Structure 1
């Protein structure tokens, strides 16, 4: 984080976990290139455009929200409000299904340990098999070692994750 005095607790909101706030802060810090603890909407918009994310519906809505705010720079609290409002919108089953299919590359109708290992490898994550097995176990409602589309939908649309 940019400042050692920064504390996620200052930004606590109902339904938001510490790691979610810290992830949004990490994104904020990426856009806060001059270290002022403010992001100019113009810079955020140009960053999104350079990453070619304009077609993403959530990103498009965020950009629309920023345009409505005008040219006023955003502090972290305002940025968090915008981002969490979008994170909180319920994903449709169709949206979740698209993500599920990214995991289920062998089209078996479920996410297996093999699928999860592949995704982790593609993302450059070196997670031990035990951690991946635990992820599957947490999402797997019938404990058969596979995550069905129904399991995945429940996991992706709930506000807190099972421990």
Structure 2
């Protein structure tokens, strides 16, 4: 008996959407893209081996030990991690970008030398890690705009003020 070429097609997959207070849909999509990079076998979960290999290949061990440790801790018990758990862990560790505590955690990622300020050197490093191609002049201008006392560095309070403004001066 021939089916005559009439094959039943599976219904189109509905894109799962996630909401997280303090994160935009675009930010969640970016976290999803990172998750998919780690999920090398396409299973929808990340096992500790995939996680460690992906983090090492991206250079996080040396570039940003804080992020490396944060993500490595996700798989510490040998369990596979689904996207929701990954999203929860990322937002819990980084915090709500609109709360003072969350903004402080983001500030600390910039202030890798623990000076209590973000300097041109810190900004250059973060810009490079994120793949941004900004001139030194553009980075200096960013610091000047945020620097309240003119010392060439951004304090945690300066950073908070800039992050909570609706427009950048």
TM-score of the superposition, structure 1-length normalised? 0.57
Verify the 8 A CA contact 1:96 1:153 in the aligned structure 2.
no
Distance 1:152 1:61 in 2: 26
> Is the counterpart of residue 67 in structure 1 residue 71 in structure 2?
no
Distance 2:32 2:106 in 1: 26
Distance 1:46 1:23 in 2: 20
1:123 is matched with 131
Q: Cα deviation per residue 1:97-126 (whole Å; 9 max; x = unaligned)?
A: 44832xx25xxxxx8xxx8xxx58x93548
Distance 1:27 1:161 in 2: 28
Distance 1:94 1:37 in 2: 31
What is the number of equivalent residue pairs in this alignment?
135
Verify the 8 A CA contact 2:66 2:109 in the aligned structure 1.
no
Distance 1:61 1:125 in 2: 26
Distance 2:31 2:51 in 1: 14
Structure number with higher helix proportion = 1
Unpaired runs of at least 5, structure 2: 1-11, 96-101
> Is the counterpart of residue 45 in structure 1 residue 52 in structure 2?
yes
1:91 is matched with 105
1:153 is matched with 159
Distance 1:61 1:124 in 2: 23
> Is the counterpart of residue 162 in structure 1 residue 166 in structure 2?
yes
Verify the 8 A CA contact 1:97 1:149 in the aligned structure 2.
no
Q: Cα deviation per residue 1:10-45 (whole Å; 9 max; x = unaligned)?
A: 311222222221110110111122323222222111
Q: Please say which structure displays the higher CA radius of gyration.
A: 2
Cα deviation for residue 67 of structure 1 reads: 0.7
Deviates more, 1:90-99 or 1:19-28: 90-99
Structure 1 pair 92/11, CA: closer, same or farther in 2 (3 Å)?
Answer: closer
Q: Cα deviation per residue 1:35-94 (whole Å; 9 max; x = unaligned)?
A: 2322222211122234442351232133123213x23x2221111112111121542866
